[in-house]
Each structure stands twice: as structure tokens, then as C-alpha cells.
Amino acid sequence: MLKFYNTLSRQKEEFVPIGNKVTMYSCGPTVYNYAHIGNMRSYIFMDILRRTLLYNGYKLKGVMNITDVGHLLSDADEGEDKLEKAGREQNKSPFEIAEFYTNAFFADLKKLNIQKPELTPKATDHIQDMINYVLALQEKGYAYETDDGIYFDISKFPEYGKLSRLNLDDQIAGARVEVNSFKRHPADFALWKKAPKNHIMQWESPWGMGYPGWHIECSAMSKKYLGKVFDIHTGGVDHIPVHHENEIAQSESLEGCKTVNYWLHGEFMLVDGGKMSKSLGNTYTISQLEEMGYSAMDFRYFCLNAHYRKKLNFTFEGLKAAQTAYKRLLESLYEHKISPLDTPDTEIQEIKQKFLDAINDDLNLPLALGIVWTALKNPPSHSIYEMCLDFDKVIALSFDKAAPAEKNDVEIDEETRAIAERRFEARKNKDWKLSDELREELKQRGYAVEDRKDGYELKKI
Ligand code: AMP
Ligand code: ZN
């Protein structure tokens, strides 16, 4: 049984999709800068979820938006648009900024073996859908106009706060909701903002020139591509108290029903136990890790060792340990790959069941990786290698790149080599007794012999 922890109910629930194709929406990046490793942890979580659904035989329609307008410096309605600010600082248009960082983001997804969702719509391509959405909310009496924009009237949605379980006073006390004199209630939020003249990104609307609020893009695009009710919505935990509450308020008010069945959130990555922030200089990107000698796969391995609902503390010692473990894992896989032996199918099926139970228990990847390691401890067997390749459909750590351990350069003397050759002949002739005797002789000389499909390998003990 496939189970996910639903933030809305604070419980693990059996997953029952609406139709025969799972519909899933993931809040995508705001493309004003390179995504950092914390962001990428969130998308690795999205990827594991996608792959688990596919592994279970579901068909999938995933949407991840690209936020290229509307995300202000605060997550609420204050401050400059992040894209406009980056454009001003880098002497580029916000559209150039968006294109550059969107491409960089997709390149990172590829390096990390993160599947690109089926659809990755940009907010700026959906301005009309958002305007229509705001109009519909206004018609139903959920929105009001002020001098600087159109706001959602939170007093009309008594269930506000049901996802974060924060009451409004706590919300307002939180730093993320700032007081704006135009609003009727401090927690009301912008659906549309009227643009000052110097605002570069602005579009015509029934309320004059302006630009959309950040939250409306997700409600408008999820409805457009996934329908008014869909299965799964994902994002990082920081989205729970503002962005996703606001999405719920917009969507449920318009549709008059619950619009998302399962809300899944990925926990944060910390650096050296604290927050990742540019001012602290600890927001690494995947490219920076690569420059330091770590691969994107080392980082993916590092992330998979922690459950997505647990905070993960990033340290270079931790990454180094992940790199070493990942290398050992590939070496061990290689031993299985080249083995001429097989494991009985009943044993393979047993391990496969354990693996499935682990991933289906709310994406328990640390346990799933543990199952892989235990399986690899078996005597080398080609069927274990094949099984791991199957698991790699979910884990996606490029198991097909399994490589031999770096060769030990120990010279093997002629006499030892001759004994090994005689043993190889004996094996070919199925003279097991002689073969074992010669193995023992090699051992006395300090060598272990490992059989390969078409030969053998000698290693120093
Ligand atoms: P943004 O580009 O700021 O909209 O963020 C993109 C995604 O990264 C969102 O789903 C955030 O919740 C997530 N995110 C931001 N910081 C972190 C972090 N330190 N650890 C994990 N996820 C994060
Ligand atoms: Zn969103």
C-alpha cells in the first residue's frame, strides 16, 4: 500500500488517486539567481515522489511552474520584485534574467537525475489566465480593489490557516506578513498589483497596467493544466504558512470545494546547523560543489540518506562521507555486475518486496538505500546487480555507471600468475578439488582470487 504524509491531516494516508493518471503540482523556482543546494533538495524530494509513483505503475502528469514574475522580496506583498531587482543589479532585463537562470536550473536538474515534470509553464506566459482568475474571485465577492491592487479578502474564507494550523494572530505576528495600509486585514494578500510607471514587467488588465501576485500563478496554472481538483501538491516547508495557505484560500473560494487531496512538503536543508543565506556566504550551488571535487551524484546520495521530512544539515564532512560511500557502492555493484552467478529468484523477490515497502511508506529512501547495501553484501551475483538497476528507477544514482575499484598496482610475480592460470584451467575443467587447492596456495602467497564471467582477478590480501 502506498502511503504519504499529508500536511493537511498531519497523518500518513493511503494514496488513492482521482483518476488513472496522477495529477501533481510542484511549486517551482523563482528564477532570479542560481538555485542553491537547499532548493535542489526540495526538487530531489519531488523527483523521488514522481519516481515512486511511476515505479508503482501509475501514469503521471506533473506540473512545475517557473516563477518569473510576482515574487516580491518578502513572501507577502512588500518589497521589489525579485526578478526586477536582479535585472537592475546585473544590468539586464528581468526577462533575460529569467531565461538565463531557468536554463541553469534545468541544467542542474539534469545533473542530479531529477526528471523534468511533464509541464514547466512560466508565470509570464499565463497572465491572462491569472487575470481571469482574479476577475472570477472578484465576481464571487472574495476580492476587493485598493489604490495599489486587488486583494483577497481573508474574512470571506474562515478556514484560512488550516494547513499551517496557525491562527491569524500568529500569522500576523510572524515576520512574513507585513502591514500594508491599503489592506482591510493585515493577512489579506495581493492577487494583482497596480504597477508604478518604472516597473518593467507590467501588463494590461481590467484594473490598469499591473502584474500578478505570486500566489495566483500557482492556482491559475494548476487549474489550467490539472483541473479544478488534483491529487498532489508539493513544495518546501517554508511555503506552508503563507504561499500554500493563500493558494488554498484562492482555489477553494473559487471552486467551492477542496482542490488538492495530498499536500506534501520537504523539510529544509541547513548549513552547519543554521540557515542558508547569501549574507553568510553559505549558499552553495551544484556547480560550486563540482568545482570543489564533488559530483551531483555525491550530493544526491547525501540527500537520499535523510528522510525528506527531516531537517538535513549540510556539512562538507557529511558530503565527503557520502562521496566515499557512493564510490564504494558503485564498486560493490560492479562486483555483482561481472559475477557469473545468480541468486535464487525467491530471494530476489523478497528483497524487492522490502524495497517497495520502504519507498511506499512515505518515501523512506534511507531505509531503501539500506536494503540496497544489505543486498550488496551477498556473494557477488548478477541478479542482484539487475535488481539494483531496477531500484535505480527510483533512487536514480546512475547505478549503470558501476565501476571497478581502482586497480591496485601490485605487481604479480610470474609464479603466482602461473598458479592462478592453472587454477583457471582447473575451473574450466570443473576440477573443483584442484581449483580449491590452488586457491589456498594463492592465499598462502597473499593473494585472493575472484572469479569473473570470462576470467579471474587477483587481489592482494
Ligand atoms: P524559491 O526559488 O525561493 O521559490 O524556492 C524554490 C524551492 O526551494 C521551494 O520549494 C522552497 O521551499 C525550497 N527551498 C528554499 N530554501 C530551501 C532550503 N534551505 N532547504 C530546502 N528547500 C528549500
Ligand atoms: Zn506555488
**What pLDDT does 407 receive?**
59
**What pLDDT does 452 receive?**
77
**What pLDDT does 334 receive?**
96
Do 53 and 231 meet the contact criterion of CB atoms below 8 Å apart? Answer: no
> Residue 296: CB within 6 Å of ligand 1?
no
CA–CA separation, 378 vs 94, rounded Å? Answer: 55
0.85 exceeded by pTM: yes
CA–CA separation, 452 vs 36, rounded Å? Answer: 43
CA–CA separation, 443 vs 460, rounded Å? Answer: 9
First to last CA, the chain: 46
Protein residue with its CA nearest to atom 19 in ligand 1: 38
Which residue among 7, 39, 67, 277 is best mutated to probe the pocket of ligand 1, counting the most ligand atoms within 8 A of its Cβ?
39
Indicate the SS3 state at residue 4: strand
- Predicted confidence pLDDT, tens digits, the chain (461 residues): 999 999 999 999 999 999 999 999 999 999 998 999 999 999 999 999 999 999 999 999 999 999 998 787 766 666 788 888 888 888 888 889 999 999 999 999 999 999 999 999 999 999 999 999 999 999 999 999 999 999 999 999 999 999 999 877 766 655 455 556 678 888 899 999 999 888 888 999 999 999 999 999 999 999 999 999 999 999 999 999 999 999 999 999 999 999 999 999 999 999 988 988 767 778 999 999 999 999 999 999 999 999 999 999 999 999 999 999 999 999 999 999 999 999 999 999 999 999 999 999 999 999 999 999 999 999 999 999 999 999 999 999 999 999 888 755 567 888 898 999 999 999 989 999 999 999 999 999 988 888 877 788 888 77
Do 385 and 336 meet the contact criterion of CB atoms below 8 Å apart? Answer: yes
Do 366 and 305 meet the contact criterion of CB atoms below 8 Å apart? Answer: yes
Ligand 1 atom closest to Cα of residue 27? 10
Which residue among 82, 105, 238, 239 is best mutated to probe the pocket of ligand 1, counting the most ligand atoms within 8 A of its Cβ?
238
Indicate the SS3 state at residue 230: strand
**What pLDDT does 167 receive?**
76
Instruction: For the sheet with 260-266, list strands across it.
Output: 59-64, 21-26, 230-236, 260-266
Contacts with 394 (C-beta within 8 Å, 6 or more apart), sequence order: 48, 51, 52, 55, 359, 365, 368
Do 371 and 358 meet the contact criterion of CB atoms below 8 Å apart? Answer: yes
**What pLDDT does 175 receive?**
46
**What pLDDT does 211 receive?**
94
- The grid coordinates listed for 59 are 501514469
Domains by residue range for the chain, with CATH: 3-266 (3.40.50.620), 278-401 (1.10.730.10), 414-460 (no CATH)
Pick from 203, 200, 234, 230: which is nearest to 97 by CA? 200
b/e map 61-83, b = 16+ CB within 10 Å: bbbbbbbbbbbbeebbbeeebbb
Q: How many CB atoms lie within 10 A of CB 49?
A: 26
Ligand 1 atom closest to Cα of residue 67? 4
Element (H or E) spanning 214, and its range? Answer: helix 214-226
CA–CA separation, 161 vs 170, rounded Å? Answer: 10
Helices (H), 361-446: 365-376, 382-395, 414-428, 432-444
Residue 237 alpha carbon to ligand 1 centre in Å: 8
> Residue 212: CB within 6 Å of ligand 1?
no
Do 2 and 56 meet the contact criterion of CB atoms below 8 Å apart? Answer: yes
Pick from 110, 111, 116: which is nearest to 47 by CA? 116
Do 21 and 231 meet the contact criterion of CB atoms below 8 Å apart? Answer: no
CA–CA separation, 10 vs 112, rounded Å? Answer: 30
Protein residue with its CA nearest to atom 6 in ligand 1: 29
Tell me whether residue 30 is exposed, middle or buried, using C-beta atoms within 10 angstroms of its C-beta: 0 to 12, 13 to 18, 19 or more: buried
- The grid coordinates listed for 296 are 551531483
Q: How many CB atoms lie within 10 A of CB 451?
A: 18
Residue 417 alpha carbon to ligand 2 centre in Å: 64
Indicate the SS3 state at residue 306: coil
